[in-house]
Amino acid sequence: MKLSHIGADLKVVVRTYLRNPVALFFSLFFPIILIALFGLIFSAIGTGTTTLYVVNEDVTASGHFSNVSVEFMNALNQTHVVSVDVVNVSSSDFSSWLGQNDYSAGLVIPRGFQADFYANRSVNVSLYTNPQDASTGGEVAGAVQGVVNYLNLNHACYPRTNCSTVVGVTNFNVGSQVYKYIDYLIPGLIGFSILTSPMFSIVDITSSYRKDGIFRQLSLTPLTRSEWLTSRVIWYVLLTFVSAGIMLGTGVGLFGAHVRVTLAMVPFLVVGPFFFVSLGMLAGSVAKTPESAALIGNIITFPMMFLSGTFFQVSQFPSGLQMFAHILPLYYVIDGMNQVMLFSNTTRAVYDLAGVLVAGVVVFLLAVRLFKWRDE
């Protein structure tokens, strides 16, 4: 590979792109429109019932939850504001467990809750909410407080006459930041851009250049297929950096997204376009006509566009769809960016990156091998 060849071809690519306003719009500004659209929709619509993860430490000698704690949890469910999910986690680790799993609300019912309640001794449940997600936190706190008041009034007072507040609520923040929809949307849409920019244009270019005889023309020059493909990869990497910068600016500036801008994003912004430019060229190579190339491109692109965690978290999908998502390469690009931009989970990000890189090298080599500039 000659750098001068790649540089000359890159210059052609950049000029072609910059002189094509439609392509620029779809690469750079369309994702911003999506951020604005989805950001507005999901900040305006309530999320309904919030799952409240409960650690119930009030277990009787027979190994069952105490009656009062069960009644307390049932009352919480009846509010329809929260849905109780009892988990088996140590109360000391509960706060960080919530944070790691990105859960926004948790409650600890302490050991001796029933005994204290009947003995009219003051006892507190511990409520964990996320200060970043004030509206959800407020709703959950209101529901919990309502049930606590109900307990105090209807059980602790009866049949006594000297009513006093027995059950109280101690508020805590969850161990680490809990994320909002917009926080996921930023890495998701960077992934969207990494997928769609190269896939839609490279598939089309590969088939139409062949039909128009441009590849035939290039085959008569010293430019090699690897050099041609490399210059495209470089261009889409550059485009991805610009696009990611604009999306980060919009997401953080307009919607207050909480994402970490870190150098650890860089490998994903390089390896992602590398994979999808190669995949686009492969798809364009195996197609006989521009029409069939577009069809193949769409078949590859559309499932990934929606099922890889671009607009919605994969963890919210039904289990069958989650399994399907795990075979999509874009899932690993987006998951990796979520790990570095939201969760600081470098280990998992490295695995994601390695997977995409290996797949990218395989697809690149396959594309260069299968793509013919001249006929037999």
Nearer to another protein by C-beta: 192 or 236? 236
The structure tokens listed for 366 are 């396959």
Q: Given strand 105-109, what is the order of strands in its sheet?
A: 82-86, 50-56, 105-109, 123-129, 167-173
Window contacting another protein (CB under 8 A); options: 2-10, 35-43, 231-239, 363-371: 2-10
Under the criterion CB under 8 A, does residue 1 sit at the interface with another protein? no
Q: How many residues bind another protein (CB under 8 A)?
A: 24
Nearest distance from C-beta of residue 286 to another protein, angstroms: 21
The structure tokens listed for 52 are 């409240």
Window contacting another protein (CB under 8 A); options: 208-216, 279-287, 291-299, 348-356: 208-216
Near another protein by CB under 8 A: residue from 22, 45, 220, 263: 220
Give SS3 for 84.
strand
Under the criterion CB under 8 A, does residue 16 sit at the interface with another protein? yes
Near another protein by CB under 8 A: residue from 223, 357, 359, 366: 223
The structure tokens listed for 224 are 């090699």
Nearest CA-CA partner of 230 in 192, 202, 204: 202
Near another protein by CB under 8 A: residue from 11, 64, 260, 288: 11
Under the criterion CB under 8 A, does residue 19 sit at the interface with another protein? yes
The structure tokens listed for 264 are 């650890």
Binding residues for another protein restricted to 145-184, rule: CB under 8 A: none
Window contacting another protein (CB under 8 A); options: 71-79, 175-183, 193-201, 218-226: 218-226
69 near 112, Cβ under 8 Å? Answer: no
Q: How many CB atoms lie within 10 A of CB 344?
A: 12
Window contacting another protein (CB under 8 A); options: 107-115, 151-159, 213-221, 246-254: 213-221
Nearer to another protein by C-beta: 248 or 281? 281
C-alpha distance from residue 347 to each of 114, 336, 340 (Å): 43, 10, 10
Nearer to another protein by C-beta: 351 or 373? 373
Near another protein by CB under 8 A: residue from 96, 217, 315, 344: 217
Near another protein by CB under 8 A: residue from 168, 213, 249, 256: 213
Under the criterion CB under 8 A, does residue 214 sit at the interface with another protein? yes
76 near 21, Cβ under 8 Å? Answer: no
Nearest distance from C-beta of residue 231 to another protein, angstroms: 11
Query: How far, in whole angstroms, is CA 179 from its chain's centroid?
Result: 10
Q: How many CB atoms lie within 10 A of CB 3?
A: 10
The structure tokens listed for 229 are 């493909």
**Crossing angle of helices 67-78/134-151, nearest 10°?**
130
C-alpha distance from residue 119 to each of 82, 155, 164 (Å): 28, 12, 12
Window contacting another protein (CB under 8 A); options: 67-75, 184-192, 196-204, 212-220: 212-220
Nearest CA-CA partner of 37 in 177, 179, 192: 192
Under the criterion CB under 8 A, does residue 376 sit at the interface with another protein? yes
Nearer to another protein by C-beta: 142 or 213? 213
